[in-house]
Amino acid sequence: MGKMLRQHWWVPALRSQALEAEGKPQRVRLFGHDYVVFRATNGKVGFFDEACPHRRASLALARNEDNALRCIFHGWKFNVEGVTVAVPTQPGNEKEYCKHVPLKHYPVREAGGVVWVWLGEGDTPPKFADLPFTDLPEANCVVHRQRLECNWLQAVETTMDSAHVGVLHQSWLEHEMSNASVNQAPVYKIKPKEYGFRYAAVRALEGGKSYVRTNSFVMPWFGVISPRKATDVTRAQLFFSVPIDDENTWYWHMTFILDQAVPHEAYLFPENRDNWPPIPSRSGEDNWGQDREAMKDGHFSGFPQTLGTEDFAILLSMGTTTDRTREFLGAGDGAVMQVRRCLLNSLKEFADGRTPALARHEEVDYRAIMPISGLYDSDGDWQASL
**Quick check: is 133 in a domain?**
no
Domain boundary pick from 47, 82, 117: 117
- 201 lies in the same domain as 146: yes
- 311 lies in the same domain as 168: yes
What is the reported pLDDT for 86? Answer: 98
What band does 166 get if pLDDT is binned at 50, 70 and 90?
Answer: confident
- Overall average pLDDT of the 361-373 stretch: 94
Predicted confidence (pLDDT) at residue 176 exceeds the cutoff of 60: no
Q: What is the pTM of this model?
A: 0.93
- 298 lies in the same domain as 268: yes
How many Å apart are CA 266 and CA 264, to the nearest integer? Answer: 5
Higher-pLDDT residue of 375 and 135 is: 135
Of the listed ranges 174-188, 209-223, 311-325, the one predicted with least confidence: 174-188
**Quick check: is 268 in a domain?**
yes
Domain boundary pick from 64, 86, 117: 117
Burial 228-264 (b: 16+ CB within 10 A, else e): bebebbebbbbbbbbbbeeebbbbbbbbbbeeeebee
- The CATH number given to whatever domain includes residue 368 is 3.90.380.10
Of the listed ranges 206-210, 213-217, 338-342, the one predicted with least confidence: 206-210
- Structural domain of residue 201, as residue ranges? 138-383
- 94 lies in the same domain as 155: no
What band does 231 get if pLDDT is binned at 50, 70 and 90?
Answer: low
What band does 286 get if pLDDT is binned at 50, 70 and 90?
Answer: very high
- 7 lies in the same domain as 111: yes
For residue 178, give every residue at least 6 positions away whose Cβ sits within 8 Å of its Cβ, in sequence order, or none.
Answer: none
- 310 lies in the same domain as 364: yes
- The CATH number given to whatever domain includes residue 30 is 2.102.10.10
- 212 lies in the same domain as 245: yes
What is the reported pLDDT for 374? Answer: 81
- 77 lies in the same domain as 167: no
Predicted confidence (pLDDT) at residue 269 exceeds the cutoff of 80: no
What is the reported pLDDT for 172? Answer: 81
Q: What is the pLDDT of residues 32-68, one digit of tens each?
A: 999 999 999 999 999 999 999 999 999 999 999 999 9
CA distances from 225 to 130, 158, 238 (A): 16, 12, 6
- Which of helix, strand or coil describes residue 204? strand
- Overall average pLDDT of the 306-332 stretch: 95
| Domains held by the chain: number | 2
- Overall average pLDDT of the 70-83 stretch: 98
For residue 38, give every residue at least 6 positions away whose Cβ sits within 8 Å of its Cβ, in sequence order, or none.
Answer: 19, 23, 24, 25, 26, 45, 46, 62, 64, 69, 80
**Quick check: is 122 in a domain?**
no
Predicted confidence (pLDDT) at residue 174 exceeds the cutoff of 70: no
- 272 lies in the same domain as 347: yes
- 18 lies in the same domain as 111: yes
Of the listed ranges 60-64, 290-294, 332-336, the one predicted with least confidence: 332-336
**Quick check: is 87 in a domain?**
yes
What band does 74 get if pLDDT is binned at 50, 70 and 90?
Answer: very high
Higher-pLDDT residue of 355 and 91 is: 355
**Quick check: is 126 in a domain?**
no
Is-contact 132 221, C-beta < 8 A? no
**Quick check: is 124 in a domain?**
no
What band does 187 get if pLDDT is binned at 50, 70 and 90?
Answer: confident
**Quick check: is 254 in a domain?**
yes
Predicted confidence (pLDDT) at residue 177 exceeds the cutoff of 70: no
Percent of the chain with pLDDT over 70: 95
What is the reported pLDDT for 184? Answer: 56
Of the listed ranges 30-34, 335-339, 357-361, 368-372, the one predicted with least confidence: 368-372
- Overall average pLDDT of the 211-227 stretch: 92
- 6 lies in the same domain as 90: yes
Closest CA to 144 of 246, 39, 256, 229: 256
- 232 lies in the same domain as 179: yes
- Overall average pLDDT of the 5-13 stretch: 99
- Overall average pLDDT of the 184-203 stretch: 88
Of the listed ranges 218-222, 341-345, 374-378, the one predicted with least confidence: 374-378
What is the reported pLDDT for 34? Answer: 99
What is the reported pLDDT for 266? Answer: 64
Predicted confidence (pLDDT) at residue 321 exceeds the cutoff of 80: yes
**Quick check: is 128 in a domain?**
no
| Mean pLDDT of the residues in the chain | 92
